[in-house]
Structure 1
Amino acid sequence: MIVVHHLNNSRSQRVLWLLEELGVPYEVKRYERDAATMLAPPELRAIHPLGKSPVITDGDKVLAETGAIIEYIIDTYGQGRLIPPAGGAERLRYTYWLHYAEGSAMTPLLLKLVFTALPARAPGLLRGLVKTIAAKAQAGFVDPQLKSHIDYWDAELSKTEWFAGPAFTAADIMMSFPLEAGAARASAASRPKVAAFLERIHARPAYRKALERGGPYNYAT
């Protein structure tokens, strides 16, 4: 049976959601972030050397990285579900969004998180200087990049209801975290198509069930 090594408020929530959508039995082993650093606990290193989540175990297999885990679950347990047929335009879009979610989309979101948190972590005498530098970095680079990505999401969702086409796929599960994080950190929910996408995914029974299994998740609002 698959065991999901699940960290609170993390990208591993998507793995739980996918398993619920497919009806695949699984177990959850929960881990809590350090309250001060917000980092994963060292116990995760016993599962994978990087000590990060998500990680799953399936028998003697250990898999990390959300995209790789999603692909493994779809290939092993999906039976053709939540993935467009091979060879078509929707399959190409599916592959693109599956990898874009953890590639291009997450970089500015992580920078936003870092520069927002940086002043509070700086020594007292340097806090004002660090705050000024962080604000300039956000205004000059991070925020414009985020705006470009958010505009892109909204424009693409104006073409089709879901990212790969008219049908819900695992690519939408992958894209959920960037859009949820973007809504929390960068007002992405002000874009009508992004807001509608978030409403649709949050209403899905499998999404709600995954929240029950995974515990508190600040982005499901």
Structure 2
Amino acid sequence: MLTVHHLGLSQSERIVWLCEELGIDYDLKLYQRRADDGFAPQEYKALHPMGIAPVVTDGDLVLGESAAICEYIAVKHGDGRLIPSPDSPDYAGHLFWFHFSNGTFMANSMMEVACLRAGAEPAAFAMDRKAKAWRLADERLATSPFFGGTELTLADIMMGFALTTMRVLADFPLDGYPNILAYLGRIGDRPAYQRAMARAEPGLAPKLT
């Protein structure tokens, strides 16, 4: 049985949402962050050599890394759903945003969070890259209903956390990003997203505005 190990307020939220979108059977195990430093408890760190979220187990398999987990689940348990075929006009766009999410978008935000935790001012170049990334995301959604194209894909599963719950850790107002706001409204209306958030983050109102 596929088990999703979800650390509260973390990227493993994506995996819960993915499983709900695919409508597959999975077990969910919740872990709370430590009260003293806000990091993962030792029980979670022991799951994978990197000691970070997300982690899934599937029989004897232990797998980390958001994009790898998303692709594994979609192919292994979801019959390839939420991945456009190579001959689809959405394929290249899906690939870009699927990898852009953690490769660039989240990397900028994580640099900011690290600086804030250390009591330091984020570097100007990092904030400039963050601003460019948010503008690019808003421009994408001006011409496409989803990051993955005409339909929701794994690219949206990856980008969703960065646009929503990540802003709990580093507040970022969405004034001036009308297309992102409209997109989050569409995501918030999805029954699978609602189920995922209720299971993964009970008591937390999704940060959709």
CA contact (8 A) 1:9 1:216 kept: no
**Cα distance in 1 for residues equivalent to 2:147 and 2:130:** 18
Q: Deviations over 1:73-107 (max 9, x none)?
A: 11112224212122333112112211111111111
Matched, 1:91 2:75: no
- Which one is further off, 13-22 or 108-117? 108-117
Matches within 5 A, 1:1-221: 1-119=1-119, 134-135=120-121, 137-138=122-123, 140-180=124-164, 181=166, 185-188=171-174, 190-216=176-202, 220-221=206-207
- Shift of the 174–189 alpha-carbon distance from structure 1 to 2, 3 Å rule, reads farther
**Cα distance in 1 for residues equivalent to 2:159 and 2:203:** 16
User: Could you state the TM-score of these two structures normalised by the residue count of structure 2?
Assistant: 0.90
**Cα distance in 2 for residues equivalent to 1:164 and 1:111:** 26
TM-fit CA distance, 1:172:
0.5
Q: Deviations over 1:31-56 (max 9, x none)?
A: 11112321111112332122211100
RMSD of Structure 2 on Structure 1 (CA): 1.9
TM-fit CA distance, 1:141:
2.6
Instruction: Give the number of the structure whose alpha-carbon radius of gyration is greater.
Output: 1
Secondary structure of 1:62's aligned partner: strand
4+ residue segments displaced more than 6 Å: none
Letter of the aligned partner of 1:70 in structure 2?
A: C
Extract unaligned runs of 5+ from structure 2: none
**Cα distance in 1 for residues equivalent to 2:174 and 2:132:** 11
TM-fit CA distance, 1:195:
0.7
Secondary structure of 1:166's aligned partner: coil
**Cα distance in 2 for residues equivalent to 1:17 and 1:217:** 16
CA contact (8 A) 1:83 1:169 kept: yes
CA contact (8 A) 1:179 1:188 kept: no
Letter of the aligned partner of 1:44 in structure 2?
A: Y
Letter of the aligned partner of 1:145 in structure 2?
A: R
**Cα distance in 2 for residues equivalent to 1:117 and 1:189:** 25
Relative to total residues, which structure has the larger helix share, 1 or 2? 1
Secondary structure of 2:69's aligned partner: helix
Secondary structure of 1:186's aligned partner: coil
User: Could you state the TM-score of these two structures normalised by the residue count of structure 1?
Assistant: 0.86
